[in-house]
Amino acid sequence: MTIHAAGIIGLVLIFVIGTWRPVNLGALALVATWAIGAGFARETVQQMYTGFPVDLLVLLAGVTYLFAIASANGTVERIVQGAVRLAAGRRALIPWIVFVVASLPAMAGALGSAGVALLAPVALRLAERCSIDRRMIGLMVVHGAASGNFSPLNVLGAIVHQAVTRNGLEMSRATLFAGNWAYNVVLAAIIFAVFGGLQRGTVPGAAPAGALDGENRAGPWRAVHTCTIAALAAVAVAALVFGLPIGFLAFAAALLLHLAFPASSGQPETKIAWSVILLVCGIVTYVAALQRYGTVDAIGGGIAGLGSAHIAGLLLCAVGAVTSAFASSAGILGALIPLAGPILLQGSIATTGLVTALAVSATVVDATPFSTVGALVVANASDDERPHVYRGLLLWGAVMVVTAPIVTWLVFILPALRGTP
């Protein structure tokens, strides 16, 4: 058995066993990484560790730690109440406000994970306050961020453009951005309809501005609320404007708040979503191993060698969707677009059409709980809602993996074969 076959079989077994028995997929993936790495690749343990996403662990732990404090001291609830007032209590407006707000950081140049990390905790609490399906609001955050992915200022747009130009080709960056934006807006409309957004009404049980539910009870505005909002704003500015690592920033802000206001901070370390962190980090470690073994490149290279440009384009989109559901979208795009170079150089398909299809296919699947942004949504859901949100995002992500290559092939690649841009 070749190492590529072993890697693919291992991935299938991880999901079969994880579905058959209530065990953490991340733990299975870590064991599989060791088994295949030692048995087939002859890797050392140190080489296996290189695929472990330390940055993702710090991001997930830091953000949930910070927002656990912000929730315990009542600041998150006050922000939520402000958002409800902004929507004038009209429930149907709230998902779209969340979608638009989520798109802004990405359009301004931030990675999608940064905006989602800051917005998801508040958006989920807002959904709880307004009796909105948490799956809907989580997906609105994810696809709102995805809609801004390929703006001229965004790093993903730059990665795609550079990969294309290095092959001596040209493309329309405006068309890439517009195509991705429109695709995600359509998905948002479907999400809105499927998850109950068409139900009319106002926010039920609207409470006075100072009222909190649950264990937290609002009193007068206190210094802790001002300091927490200032800390959240500082993290946002430092991460979105200056590009500093949001995970470490979140830990720093949380520790300062905990030291300054210990009585109102609760026990934030108990609120870190360790099961989600194990799940995501384990899966990412395994997929990173497949990338080290060249499995993804081998599959992509075989597809790119097909004689039919439109079939090769469809299959490349499928590889991008499946792989990106478990790995970095930026990394997958950086690998797949060069593989598409020989197809594009044949001149039988317009560059912008194929590149847009690849870009959309590789990013709309980020709703899966195994991607960074999907994991952030699941990790910030309340304990009782987390399994529900996880299953919802898993199902939606699976639908994206299946449909995105086909729909983008029909919308972007087939017209490009007819010579239209």
pLDDT tens-place values along the chain, 421 residues long: 789 899 889 988 988 888 788 888 889 999 999 999 998 889 999 999 998 989 889 988 998 899 889 888 888 878 877 777 777 767 888 999 999 988 988 887 777 778 888 889 999 998 988 889 999 999 999 999 999 988 877 778 887 888 788 778 888 889 999 999 999 999 999 999 999 877 766 655 444 433 333 354 445 678 999 999 999 899 888 887 888 888 899 999 999 999 999 998 888 888 887 888 898 888 889 888 988 898 877 877 777 677 677 888 899 899 889 988 887 787 778 777 877 777 777 777 888 999 999 999 999 999 999 888 999 999 999 889 999 999 999 999 999 999 999 999 999 988 876 544 4
CA angle 298, 300, 302 (to 5 degrees): 70
* d(C-alpha 73, C-alpha 75), whole Å: 6
Give the up-direction half-sphere exposure of residue 179: CA atoms within 13 A in the CB hemisphere: 27
Residues 6 or more apart whose CB falls under 8 angstroms from that of 223 comprise 261
Minimal CA–CA distance to 45: which of 55, 34, 36, 35?
34
C-beta pairs of 151-157 under 8 Å, 24+ apart in sequence: 151/106, 151/107, 151/108, 151/109, 151/177, 152/177, 153/107, 153/108, 153/109, 154/106, 154/107, 154/109, 154/110, 155/109, 155/111, 155/330, 156/111, 156/329, 156/330, 156/333, 156/359, 156/363
Residues 6 or more apart whose CB falls under 8 angstroms from that of 82 comprise none
* pTM score: 0.80
Predicted confidence at residue 89, as pLDDT, reads 65
Length of the chain: 421
* d(C-alpha 385, C-alpha 222), whole Å: 30
- Tokens 């922000």 map to which residue? 79
Minimal CA–CA distance to 363: which of 328, 412, 316, 394?
328
Predicted confidence at residue 219, as pLDDT, reads 56
- Helix, strand, coil % over all residues of the chain, rounded to 5: 75, 0, 25
Give the up-direction half-sphere exposure of residue 19: CA atoms within 13 A in the CB hemisphere: 9
Q: Are 379 and 60 within 8 A, CB to CB?
A: yes
Q: Is 150 helix (H, G, I), strand (E, B) or coil?
A: coil
Predicted confidence at residue 341, as pLDDT, reads 76
Dig out the tokens for 214 from the structure: 């649950």
